[in-house]
Amino acid sequence: MSSSLGLKFLYHTVPGRFILKQLVKPSVSVRMGKFLSTGFSARLVPGYVRKNGIDLNRYEVPADGYASFNDFFTRKLRLENRPRPKSELIAPCDGLLTVLDIDSESNFLIKNSNYSLVRLLKDKELAEKFSNGTAFIFRLTPSHYHRYNFCSNGTVSSQKTISGKLHCVRPIALEQLPVFIENSREYVTIESVHSGKLVQMEVGALFVGKISNYEHNDMNYHVHTTDEKGYFEFGGSTIIVLTDHRVSVNDEILKRKRNDEGEIPVTIGESLI
């Protein structure tokens, strides 16, 4: 069964929805995560690389190979391939980008579904500060690099973790489910040096046991676009960057060929403005 047909079965049939309800239980996600960290799971790596057309020459590969599937999935770029950002606002990850304006009522459209910014952030006061901004939504596919950097230089002024069910973030899921309300997510607010106030949010997905952001001892700390913020374990995932004002998006990015869903391919470290 193809991934597309499998998603249609899960989200559009009664037996599929029953199975999905079992799959999204945290206990299932935890067990899957444990298995993917075992040595036995390393046997899945060669087939996964072939299926997704991953060029391992870009990445660090241990002399004895990856110890587990998660070890492979959270692989690091080779030193010479790591981003050297020069912009004040960058793509924090590899992914497929959608750019949206946030309207005056703090609602914006993601994949043909309307989402309340207040419910996304779980913070009415903060949402009001972004009611006339721009949203950059990055969807990571299985073939993408799953580590990510901070989107701007600045100071982290707050951070929040929101628990939730883990649902798939592929477009088919968005037709029926309030995906950002159901999914676990973590975000920080950044007082950017040049780009005003920003939000950078990571959203978990089906079979992702956790969003692995690095811990900081201080409540407020300085960050740079060259700093790695964290990584996703196995599963498709999403990163959202919000600005507190409308920004002019990098014309070179906007002119790129888009996929059938209107998403733009971007690479970690690229200038968004």
In tens, the pLDDT along 23-61 reads 666 666 677 778 889 999 999 999 999 999 999 999 999
CA distance 193 to 177: 37
Q: What is the pLDDT of residue 103?
A: 79
68 an active-site residue?
Answer: no
Ranges of H-type helices in 24-74:
26-35, 45-52, 69-73
At residue 200 the predicted structure's pLDDT band, cuts being 50, 70 and 90, is very high
Q: Which of 7 and 246 is assigned the larger pLDDT?
A: 246
Q: Is 107 exposed, middle or buried (0-12, 13-18, 19+ CB in 10 A)?
A: middle
Q: Is the pLDDT of residue 162 over 80?
A: yes
Q: What is the pLDDT of residue 261?
A: 86
244 an active-site residue?
Answer: no
Q: What is the pLDDT of residue 180?
A: 46
Q: What percent of the chain has pLDDT over 90?
A: 58
Q: What is the pLDDT of residue 15?
A: 79
> Taking a C-beta distance cutoff of 8 angstroms, is the pair 238, 198 a contact?
no
pTM given for the model:
0.84
Q: What is the pLDDT of residue 112?
A: 40
- Give the residue-averaged pLDDT of 13-17: 73
Q: Residue 273: how many CB atoms within 10 A of its CB?
A: 17
Q: Which of 130 and 20 is assigned the larger pLDDT?
A: 130
Element holding 140 (H helix, E strand): strand 134-140
> Of 29, 94, 106, 195, which residue is the catalytic one?
94
- Give the residue-averaged pLDDT of 104-122: 66
- Give the residue-averaged pLDDT of 7-34: 69
Q: Is the pLDDT of residue 216 over 80?
A: yes
Q: Is the pLDDT of residue 156 over 80?
A: yes
Q: Which of 14 and 113 is assigned the larger pLDDT?
A: 14
Q: What is the pLDDT of residue 86?
A: 85
Q: What is the pLDDT of residue 24?
A: 61
Q: Is the pLDDT of residue 167 over 60?
A: no
> Of 29, 87, 192, 237, which residue is the catalytic one?
237
CA distance 225 to 84: 8
Q: What is the pLDDT of residue 205?
A: 61
In three-state secondary structure terms, 41 is helix
